[in-house]
Every structure is written in structure tokens, then in C-alpha cells.
Amino acid sequence: MRKLLYALTATMLLFTSWAQAAGPELRSGYPERYTVVKGDTLWDISSRFLSNPWYWPEIWHVNPQVGNPHLIYPGDQLALVYIDGKPRITKVGDGVIKLSPKIRSEQITTPIPAIPLDAINSFLSDTRIVTAEELDGAPYVLEGADGRIISGAGDKVYARGQKPADRVGVFRRSKAFVDPQTNEFLGLEARAIARGTIAAENSDVLTVMLTNSNEEVRIADRLLVSEDRKITTSFLPAAPDQQVVGQMISVEGGVNQIGQYNVVAINRGVREGIVPGHVLAVMKSGNLVRDPVTRETIELPDERAGLLMVFQAYEKMSYGLVLQATRPLSIGDKVKNP
């Protein structure tokens, strides 16, 4: 009976501790006011005020007098205030004349992003996840003008297949993602190589003028519709609404040790409730040790080692950017609610 009471007490303490932690925690030494500067990101600012910056939406004070209160610009001054006894971050002067469009400087035309966009630009604008059938059925490059085997921006190339659109992207088969636990096929990464326009169509032979290129276009590269996806700055850091447990399955660039601002792929996506802006903790598996008394092999508890934010979500997988890493991370490390 005593053991049962002890177990129940411990469980209640753990639950209470979790419940208290499951909310915004003000950082020690947070500023009462902060002026946004060029180069700031929403994550940077959140980290100045909160120990768990993904709770930013819960302390941001939405002022109905401001058209879009979530847009923060360099020069804006933020303050921590208490409203109904709860801490809230608000723009100083919200709703008064200083925030009117006439006062907004001509030099400031875009709000600060949630995370460093230069680290993820190519993923948001071009590189995408497709099915093998979609890529295999797309038109493919035959050769460049004058029989060239490699071409670039300003060159003409010939391709064979059904015209997908007037404006196309040139893609190359990259990584095939498979769930390491279930062996389910998650998707195929089509890496963006170039963009172009269809200049002529002769039966199933297409003449393509390359308008820009990231790499040299080669024979057998594929043509897909150019999506012209726009980089979003509107998502906010937040924890997933439901429990998520997954793994990091790949890292851009194939590096051995993953650190801050590396782009990683995880084996969880829209079907698991993942959306852009979701923040996940990265967990390092505990070491295996030999019990000196029983000689058993014991696995130590997982340890939190970093945070990532999802910036692109597909049906079965997602891309995320590592925002914090307290130690080198690796492929296979677990990801879960922060």
C-alpha cells in the first residue's frame, strides 16, 4: 500500500510539474523593452523574452486597432506588459498615430521573418518532394544546343515529353526518403537545377530556353511545372497540437554532425498534424552501459539536445531548420514535442 501511495504521489508531482511547464516561461533577465533591428528574426526576439520561445503566440498581445499585429518591422519597439495579470508582449504605441502607414519608413518594406530565410530559400522556392511516378513521367532533357551535354542560364536545351506548362523548372532526382522504422516510402526529393520557358513544341520534342540556373543542366534532367512558391514569413513558432514522435532521417549537404541552421528532413508530416511553424525538440538517445552489479546492458534516458522548426510540410515528411543545438546532432536522433 505504501508503495502504491508513493507511486501515485510521484505521478501527480510529475503531472503537476509538466502542467506548470506547459506554458510560457519568462527568461531570467528579459528586457522590459526591445527595439527590433535589421537581421532579427521572430525566433531571436522570442528567445529574448522566453525560455521556451515557441510559446510566443500565447504572450503576443493582439491589438485590434492594428491591421496585422503579427508583422514586426525593424524600428518597432516591443514591451512586456501585464494584462489581466498575465504577461503580454505588445508594440509600444499600438493603435496610435506613430504606427500609421504615413509614418512607416520607406526603407522598411518587409516584416522580419520567423527564422533565417537564407538558410531555407531554395527549399521554399524550388526543391520539392514528389512521387517516383511523377518524376519518371516528366519530360527529360535530350541535349543542349550544338549537342552540348551540359547547359546553363541563357542556353537552349531540347527535351522530350508532354509539355507540362509554358514556364518550367528543371529538376534532378535526389534522395529517396524511407521511414527507418516502418520502411514506408515517404517521398522523393526533386532538387531544383534551373528554370526556363518552352519556346517551341514539335510533336513530343520541346525547345526550352533556360532563364536561370543553380547548377549545370544535364542530359536526363526532368521538367516539372514551375510553382513560383513564395517564401512565407507569416508562420509563428508553436508546439504541435498533438503528440508527435519521429526521427531526423536526412540532412542537407550530407554532413556527419548536424548543428544550428542545418536543414534536416523528418519522417513526420501533414498526416501526423505537422504544419510549418511547428517546433520540435531533438533528443539524443542515451548511451548503453553495463550494469556493474547485474552485468545487464542498460539504456540511459534520452537527453534533449536541440530544437528545430518545421518550414515545409508534405503528406508523409517535413523539412525543418535546426535553431538550437547544445551538442552535435545526428541522423536517427528522435524529434518530439518540445
Whichever domain contains 300, its CATH number is: 2.40.10.410
Chain segment 154-169, per-residue pLDDT in tens: 999 999 999 999 999 9
The reply to whether 57 and 155 lie within a common domain is: no
Q: Is the pLDDT of residue 67 over 50?
A: no
Domain range enclosing 273:
245-336
Chain segment 21-54, per-residue pLDDT in tens: 467 888 888 888 899 888 888 888 888 888 888 8
Contact 166, 219 (CB under 8 A): no
Q: Which residue has the higher pLDDT, 7 or 80?
A: 80
CA atoms within 13 A on the CB side of 1: 0
- pLDDT for res 307: 93
Chain centre to alpha carbon of residue 202: 41
Spatial CA neighbour of 267 closest among 175, 330, 184? 184
Q: Residue 185 maps to which CATH number?
A: 2.40.10
Q: Is the pLDDT of residue 69 over 70?
A: no
Contact 206, 138 (CB under 8 A): no
Average pLDDT over residues 182-198: 94
The answer as to whether 165 is a domain residue is yes
The reply to whether 160 and 128 lie within a common domain is: yes
Residue ending a domain, among 164, 192, 225, is 225
The answer as to whether 230 is a domain residue is no
Cell of 31: 528586457
The answer as to whether 101 is a domain residue is yes
Q: Give the C-alpha distances (Å, rounded to integers) separating 325 from 242, 259, 308.
A: 24, 6, 9
The reply to whether 56 and 108 lie within a common domain is: yes
**Parallel, antiparallel, or unpaired for β 150-151 and 205-213?**
unpaired
Q: Which residue has the higher pLDDT, 220 or 76?
A: 220
Residues 307, 313, 316: CA angle, nearest 5 degrees: 105
Q: Which residue has the higher pLDDT, 13 or 271?
A: 271
The reply to whether 100 and 201 lie within a common domain is: no
The answer as to whether 235 is a domain residue is no
DSSP-derived 3-state class of residue 311: strand
- pLDDT for res 28: 87
Residues 13, 14, 15: CA angle, nearest 5 degrees: 90
- pLDDT for res 99: 34
Q: How many CB atoms lie within 10 A of CB 223?
A: 26
Rg of the chain, C-alpha, whole Å:
25
- pLDDT for res 140: 97
Chain segment 192-249, per-residue pLDDT in tens: 999 999 999 999 999 999 999 989 999 999 999 987 655 555 667 888 989 999 999 9
